[in-house]
């Protein structure tokens, strides 16, 4: 993660090993650089233990490969997909759709109770 960016990152999206790399990168970043960042993981949930980050984690119902990398971490979204993000190989994870939904969910005004 480039800490010298003039404009800070707003969203980090990672699939499989990319999600693991995001988990490692955010642990080494200064906390002030992470405030308000969206982290979207696909096929490999990571620990949600850093403050200031909005985590959205997707884990396919049919994703046996992802289960090997989960290390006990749980995802909150379980779409009926498998590990691939390749749309030619259904039922693939829709990375762009899931990332957009995550931002829209965070930006939506709070619902009154």
pLDDT at 55 over 80: yes
Domain span at residue 54? Answer: 11-106
Residue 58 is assigned to a structural domain of this protein: yes
Task: Identify the bridge partners of residue 57 per DSSP, sorted by sequence position.
Answer: 41
pLDDT at 106 over 70: no
What is the signed CA dihedral for 87, 92, 97, 101, rounded to 10 degrees?
180
The number of domains in the chain is 1
Residue 87 is assigned to a structural domain of this protein: yes
Extended beta strands in the chain, E state: 11-15, 37-42, 53-58
Q: Smallest Cα–Cα separation from 90: which of 101, 81, 102, 77?
A: 81
Task: Identify the bridge partners of residue 56 per DSSP, sorted by sequence position.
Answer: 40
Mean pLDDT of the chain: 85
Where does the pLDDT of residue 113 fall: very low under 50, low under 70, confident under 90, or very high at 90 and above? Answer: very low
Note the pLDDT tens digit of each residue in 19-54.
999 999 999 998 888 888 999 999 999 999 999 899
Note the pLDDT tens digit of each residue in 78-104.
999 999 999 999 999 999 899 888 877
């Amino acid at each position: 993660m480039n800490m010298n960016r003039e404009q800070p990152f707003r969203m980090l999206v990672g699939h499989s090993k990319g999600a693991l790399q995001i988990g490692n990168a955010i642990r080494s970043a200064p906390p002030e650089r992470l405030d308000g960042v969206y982290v979207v993981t696909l096929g490999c949930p990571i620990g949600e233990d850093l403050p200031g980050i909005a985590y959205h984690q997707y884990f396919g119902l049919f994703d046996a490969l992802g289960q090997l990398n989960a290390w006990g971490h749980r995802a909150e979204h379980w779409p009926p997909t498998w590990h691939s993000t390749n749309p030619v190989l259904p039922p693939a994870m829709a990375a762009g759709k899931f990332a957009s939904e995550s931002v829209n969910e965070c930006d939506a005004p709070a619902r009154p109770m």
